[in-house]
A = this chain, B = another copy of it.
Amino acid sequence: MAPPLPRSVNLRRVAEEAGVHPSTASRALNPATRHLVAAPAAHRVQEAAARLGYRPDAAAMSLRTGRSRLVGALVPGIANPVFAPILAAAAAALAEDGHALLVADPGDDPAQAAEFVAELAARRVDGLLLATVALRDDPALAACLVRGLPTVLINRSGGEGIPAVVSDDRAGMAMAVAHLASLGHRRIAHVGGPAPLSTGLLRREGFEAAMAAQGLELPPGWVEAAPTYGRAEGEAAASLLLSRCSGITALACANDLLALGAYDACRRAGLRIPADISVTGHNDMPLVDMIEPPLTTIRIPHAEMGRRAARLLLDRIHQGTEAGTAVLAPALVERGSTGPPRAQA
């Protein structure tokens, strides 16, 4: 029955030191119940706690109260540079409220994601940030819902009443297409994102709508969706478009990583950017201003996204209120990968 590990200062120890009962010490240390304790006693307790370096034990607190001051986050590929600023901002906002962020990376495997939700639930996370959710019937989202876990989606929308923080993907693609059209491009193809992801779908829809709005033709086969957001997948899709679509002068990509792949494809095809073909990305992830040529892209306010998601989640955790969806405005960042089209035949 002996505890297996060496003991550190606990509440009982603090109470002894202050000459009060542990429950009094507990009350004195909790801002919400402090007023129930006589001032001098409360003082002695706080002084003793400070002197001994007392920290409430998270496990015991969690067991007793059911809350862990832990928030889980699911991201597909933590190595993807766009998640770094999102997670950093979310962690900072959460920390202000005493919450820590537990990040899990299920990759693109929905079953694994659901498994992680179960694991995080067993760890009694107070809420969950989901950046992995597919558009419909996502098992991870279902796992959250069935457990009644406060959940906020990031950079993905999950339909119905699920709170989410997203960029206006349609508007972003409209900006890209309008920019290209203003340069004189008429024949623009789209390297799309994964169809099951809301970003993949919405950016594709946004692209198609924008083409129509600009009065530009979009022949069948001028949109090619990559199976995942990756440089190699972008290269494959762009290669296909390059050989399939006659006379295209621009490639609007659903994502910066795909655009990097498009660079590779253009290079292999002997096409110069932007002299022979223009390329746009989406996200404005770190370092794309340093590549050659610097990528013209749609900037998404990643830090803002993480911060808002964290705040929304904290609201749900504390007040149980149904937080709505926040739509953030993207912005066009003009760099060197777009220019006027070559004179056409």
Binding site for B on A (CB under 8 A): 3-6, 8, 53, 55-60, 62-63, 65-68, 78-81, 84-85, 87-88, 91-92, 100-105, 118-119, 121-124, 147-148, 260, 263, 286-288, 290-293
A96 vs B298: C-alpha distance when bound (angstroms): 38
Q: How far is the CB of A223 from chain B (nearest CB, A)?
A: 25
Instruction: Kindly list chain B residues whose C-beta atoms are within 8 Å of the C-beta of A60.
Output: 59, 63
17 A–B contacts from the bound complex (CB under 8 Å)? A3-B66, A55-B119, A59-B59, A59-B60, A59-B62, A59-B68, A63-B63, A78-B91, A81-B84, A81-B286, A92-B105, A101-B102, A101-B103, A102-B102, A103-B103, A287-B290, A291-B291
Instruction: Kindly list chain B residues whose C-beta atoms are within 8 Å of the C-beta of A88.
Output: 78-79, 105
Which residue of chain B has the shortest Cβ distance to A336 in the bound complex? B292
Q: Is A122 a contact partner of B78 (Cβ separation < 8 A)?
A: no
Q: Is B286 a contact partner of A124 (Cβ separation < 8 A)?
A: no
A260 vs B287: C-alpha distance when bound (angstroms): 9
Knowing A63-B63, A66-B3, A105-B91, the reply to whether A290 touches B78 (Cβ < 8 A) is no
Q: Is A55 a contact partner of B105 (Cβ separation < 8 A)?
A: no
Which residue of chain B has the shortest Cβ distance to A126 in the bound complex? B5
Q: How far is the CB of A306 from chain B (nearest CB, A)?
A: 11
Which residue of chain B has the shortest Cβ distance to A95 in the bound complex? B104
Total identical chains: 2
A66 vs B80: C-alpha distance when bound (angstroms): 35
Q: Is B122 a contact partner of A56 (Cβ separation < 8 A)?
A: yes
Q: How far is the CB of A77 from chain B (nearest CB, A)?
A: 8
Instruction: Kindly list chain B residues whose C-beta atoms are within 8 Å of the C-beta of A124.
Output: 57-59
Q: How far is the CB of A14 from chain B (nearest CB, A)?
A: 14
A84 vs B91: C-alpha distance when bound (angstroms): 15
Q: How far is the CB of A343 from chain B (nearest CB, A)?
A: 26
Knowing A4-B66, A79-B286, A81-B286, the reply to whether A55 touches B121 (Cβ < 8 A) is yes
Q: How far is the CB of A221 from chain B (nearest CB, A)?
A: 28
A121 vs B325: C-alpha distance when bound (angstroms): 36
Q: Is A57 a contact partner of B91 (Cβ separation < 8 A)?
A: no
A8 vs B56: C-alpha distance when bound (angstroms): 25
Q: Is A6 a contact partner of B119 (Cβ separation < 8 A)?
A: no
Which residue of chain B has the shortest Cβ distance to A61 in the bound complex? B59
Q: How far is the CB of A187 from chain B (nearest CB, A)?
A: 26
Looking at A66, A80, A119, A287, the one whose CB has the most chain B CB atoms below 10 A away is A287
A118 vs B5: C-alpha distance when bound (angstroms): 17
Knowing A100-B102, A105-B91, the reply to whether A118 touches B55 (Cβ < 8 A) is yes
Instruction: Kindly list chain B residues whose C-beta atoms are within 8 Å of the C-beta of A103.
Output: 91, 101, 103
Instruction: Kindly list chain B residues whose C-beta atoms are within 8 Å of the C-beta of A291.
Output: 287, 290-292
Instruction: Kindly list chain B residues whose C-beta atoms are within 8 Å of the C-beta of A104.
Output: 91, 100
A195 vs B188: C-alpha distance when bound (angstroms): 51
- 4 closest A-B pairs by beta carbon, nearest first, are A292-B292, A5-B66, A59-B62, A55-B122
Knowing A290-B291, A291-B287, the reply to whether A100 touches B119 (Cβ < 8 A) is yes
Instruction: Kindly list chain B residues whose C-beta atoms are within 8 Å of the C-beta of A293.
Output: 292
Which residue of chain B has the shortest Cβ distance to A98 in the bound complex? B119
Looking at A78, A101, A105, the one whose CB has the most chain B CB atoms below 10 A away is A78
A101 vs B84: C-alpha distance when bound (angstroms): 16
